[in-house]
Structure 1
Amino acid sequence: MMSNQRDIQLDALRAIAVTMVLYSHFFAAGGSSFLGHLGVRLFFVLSGFLITRLLLEARAAAEFEAGPALRSFYIRRALRIFPPYFAVLGLVWLTDLEQSRGSLLWHALYLSNFWYALRNEWTPWLLCHFWSLSIEEQFYIAWPLIVLLAPRRRVEAITIGVIAFSLAYRFYWPVTANTALARDLLPPASMDALACGALLAMRAARGAALPQWMQRGWPAFAAAFLAIQWFIPAPADPMLEWAHWLLLQVLPLIPLVAIVGACSSGFGGMLGKLAELPPLLALGRISYGVYLYHPILLAYAVKAQPWIPLNVSEQGPGRFLVASTATIVVAAISWQVFEKPLNGLKRHFPYVARRAAQERASKAGWFGRPAYPTGSPDGREPPRNLRRTRAGQ
């Protein structure tokens, strides 16, 4: 597996995103969702960028075939995501932790966001973070079909259309004057972040830099977002509340895309050195496990409160220290013992078959014909490796 400066610094962004989630869920007063939500949006932009980049690289190879590439994509995603995910669900089912067993089928089908949206409450709280994992899985199912099967000249236009649809979706809510959870949990509410990351990958694939207005203007968008978040509380009037919500959802997109774009090119100097600190990179590599396990470890920490000298029953430094440490330790063990070996199996499922494999398949034949073409019209060799991220994208 190749690694490069871009992928290393994107690991650092994962570490920052998951730290924001841990702070929000373990430390912030009243369980404020500000940083946690921002961390999830950063994860979405990263996912859209990385997945689209891989798919575009596969499609650009001389020996690309849509069927094998799709099959490999879904198998590789399953190897990376499913084992720890279903291990958590199995543990919850066996112990019925926090009376969560009744909702497990929805979570197993990656419909957690619909479960919470339909009930309009975060019950069971233990698995409420699965809503974002469901959004990503729904994206993983649909997006490769667009990138690999749609006409090449249309893919970028389709992506812009997805962003526009997601933004237009937000204008539905003032009509209903409804602030239900569905407003944030249904897929259109997150497709803008995922598609913005995808659009960034598409521009990079054709050698286009970020637009000048974005490069120069993203600090202003970030400042406006922080000013509204910190100094302007949500108004009681439904129309004004909707506008407040809309700005908090949309304004961070430009800074997040700009930051992902900068890290994908690689920061230099002191900032680049900071982004490549080993502890930060290590946390980025295990960030999926940290996100997946952290409420489970919190539940066990609260149950063990009589034996813990620090206060873990309430938001604050004690909970943050104990629950975060336990989460990171478990996630690190999970990565080394469980996830990393399974992740290594992805080498058997390349997006584009290598030349030697093609020749063997051609000689052996499948159902009386070659499984793959043995060459390409222009005679180009496939790339030795497709770029991959260190965290298993």
Structure 2
Amino acid sequence: MAKARDIQLDTLRAVAVTLVLYAHFLAPGGSSFLGHLGVRLFFVLSGFLITRLLLEARDAAQFEAGPALQSFYARRVIRIFPPYFAVLGLVWFTDLEQARSSLAWHALYLSNFWYAQRNDWTPWLLCHFWSLSIEEQFYLAWPLIVLLAPRKRIEAITIGIICFSLAYRFYWPIAADPALARDLLPPASMDALGCGALLAARRARGADVPRWMRLGWPALAAVFLLVVWSDPGPADSTWEWPRWLLVQVLPLVPLTAIVAACSNGLGGRLGKLAELPPLLSLGRISYGVYLYHPILLAYAVKAQPWIPLNVSEQGPGRFLVAGTATLVVASLSWVLFERPLNGLKRYFPYMALSRGRGASETRRFGGGAPALDLRPTDRS
């Protein structure tokens, strides 16, 4: 059965996708640090949930690396591929915004490399696929490390990946090159994914976030907001690169601390707020919301002559029309398409069926009856 405390992580998904919708539909100028923050929150969540799932599978009595890897990839394919390739099929069939020529890159989950090597956000309606590509690249490589590396070395490997990602950022001020590659290549996101993974690794040995992180994250969050709201100054100013570095790095501790708190289960009024049904429902369909929202925006813009509100520019009209369409389509996709397909995961348990203790652990990790659902921990 899914861990009851993870219900609050669905609310974090809802918060993350709302920040992205705000940035893409409502924020002045078509960009906002809130959208960036939403994506970074998704990365921390994914790093935590996937690593915890893999470590729990590895620590079970009936663990075998080969079957566990096969099941992990099969379950990822079932969850991620159908709506993703349905969107690509629709874009190919309609050649929406002349995006057909780049579809091979997106189909191979190389969207981040496509936009990085072109240094341009064309086609714009698939530009959000860069983060989905990062996650898929993470899903491809990370299970091999978690399930095959020496168990006692995983936490150290995770720390090394975070340090490498942070060091990567310092190359760009030296190169003085503000190309899209600095934000889109995999090392630029490994710090957030790694922070989530490190939290899971610490939890696996009975630890939690360090005390300095629990007490200090509000101060770091406040500094982050001050930096974001500061005047960026003219291009090539002395503040431009330090500001970029701080905006990238400062949110890591607050986001990790928030994920840690919600995965433990917040109590009191905050806990009740984090378990409001509308937020949980939005978190449940957050993958579809993120996947579909620019596609539906493109159709809304094409339909502008028949829409009384202004959807061609950032603002309340776009947020209301495109946002509502996104929620409706994502909800239908979840109920009619994604959730039924998720039932196929029961055919790919992390351990083979066996008797006694092994059988109970198999049920814990996805085998047996369909009622044993890992969706709250396995929905990214």
If the length of structure 1 is used for normalisation, what is the TM-score? Answer: 0.92
Q: 1:234, 1:332 → 2: CA distance?
A: 43
Deviation at 1:293, TM superposition (A): 0.1
2:265 paired residue number: 266
2:250 paired residue number: 251
Deviation at 1:341, TM superposition (A): 0.7
1:334 paired residue number: 333
Q: 1:31, 1:346 → 2: CA distance?
A: 38
Deviation at 1:4, TM superposition (A): 3.3
1:388 correspondence with 2:367? no
Deviation at 1:129, TM superposition (A): 0.2
2:209 paired residue number: 210
1:344 correspondence with 2:334? no
Q: 2:116, 2:268 → 1: CA distance?
A: 45
Unaligned runs of 5+ in 2: 366-372
Cα root mean square deviation, aligned: 1.5
Whichever residue aligns with residue 198 of structure 2, its letter is L
Contact 1:12–1:281, Cα closer than 8 Å, also in 2 = yes
Q: 2:351, 2:206 → 1: CA distance?
A: 22
Structure 1 residues 1-393: aligned runs within 5 Å: 2-237=1-236, 240-356=239-355, 382=361, 384-386=363-365, 388-390=374-376, 392-393=378-379
Q: 1:341, 1:70 → 2: CA distance?
A: 23
Deviation at 1:291, TM superposition (A): 0.2
Contact 2:88–2:103, Cα closer than 8 Å, also in 1 = yes
The DSSP-based 3-state class of the residue aligned with 1:390 is helix
Would you say how many aligned residue pairs link Structure 1 and Structure 2?
372
Q: 1:353, 1:380 → 2: CA distance?
A: 8
Whichever residue aligns with residue 58 of structure 1, its letter is A
Contact 1:174–1:238, Cα closer than 8 Å, also in 2 = no
Whichever residue aligns with residue 120 of structure 2, its letter is E
The DSSP-based 3-state class of the residue aligned with 1:271 is helix
The DSSP-based 3-state class of the residue aligned with 1:382 is helix
Write out per-residue CA displacement over residues 6-26 of structure 1, whole angstroms, 9 at most, x where no aligned residue: 211000000000000000000
Q: 1:8, 1:213 → 2: CA distance?
A: 26
Deviation at 1:235, TM superposition (A): 4.8
Whichever residue aligns with residue 388 of structure 1, its letter is L
Deviation at 1:210, TM superposition (A): 1.1
Write out per-residue CA displacement over residues 209-259 of structure 1, whole angstroms, 9 at most, x where no aligned residue: 211110000001100000010123255236532211100000000000000
Q: 2:32, 2:117 → 1: CA distance?
A: 20
Q: 2:133, 2:32 → 1: CA distance?
A: 19
Q: 1:105, 1:185 → 2: CA distance?
A: 18
The DSSP-based 3-state class of the residue aligned with 1:110 is coil
Contact 2:109–2:137, Cα closer than 8 Å, also in 1 = yes
Write out per-residue CA displacement over residues 60-92 of structure 1, whole angstroms, 9 at most, x where no aligned residue: 000100000000000000000000000000000
Whichever residue aligns with residue 23 of structure 2, its letter is S
Unaligned runs of 5+ in 1: 357-374
Q: 2:115, 2:335 → 1: CA distance?
A: 33
Larger radius of gyration: 1
Q: 1:73, 1:234 → 2: CA distance?
A: 47
Contact 2:351–2:362, Cα closer than 8 Å, also in 1 = no
Whichever residue aligns with residue 220 of structure 1, its letter is A
Deviation at 1:164, TM superposition (A): 0.3
Whichever residue aligns with residue 282 of structure 1, its letter is S
Q: 1:355, 1:5 → 2: CA distance?
A: 26
Contact 2:65–2:148, Cα closer than 8 Å, also in 1 = yes
Contact 2:296–2:326, Cα closer than 8 Å, also in 1 = yes
Whichever residue aligns with residue 74 of structure 1, its letter is Y
Q: 1:285, 1:380 → 2: CA distance?
A: 29
Q: 2:205, 2:48 → 1: CA distance?
A: 14
Q: 1:159, 1:37 → 2: CA distance?
A: 23
Deviation at 1:33, TM superposition (A): 2.8
If the length of structure 2 is used for normalisation, what is the TM-score? Answer: 0.95
Contact 1:285–1:391, Cα closer than 8 Å, also in 2 = no
- Higher mean Cα deviation, 299-308 or 380-389? 380-389
Whichever residue aligns with residue 212 of structure 2, its letter is W
Whichever residue aligns with residue 268 of structure 1, its letter is G
Q: 2:32, 2:179 → 1: CA distance?
A: 16
2:369 paired residue number: none
Whichever residue aligns with residue 156 of structure 2, its letter is A
Contact 1:177–1:239, Cα closer than 8 Å, also in 2 = no
Contact 1:49–1:199, Cα closer than 8 Å, also in 2 = yes
Whichever residue aligns with residue 137 of structure 1, its letter is E
Q: 1:329, 1:290 → 2: CA distance?
A: 9
Q: 1:152, 1:388 → 2: CA distance?
A: 24
Whichever residue aligns with residue 309 of structure 2, its letter is L
Contact 2:49–2:377, Cα closer than 8 Å, also in 1 = no
Contact 2:29–2:314, Cα closer than 8 Å, also in 1 = yes
Q: 1:33, 1:75 → 2: CA distance?
A: 36
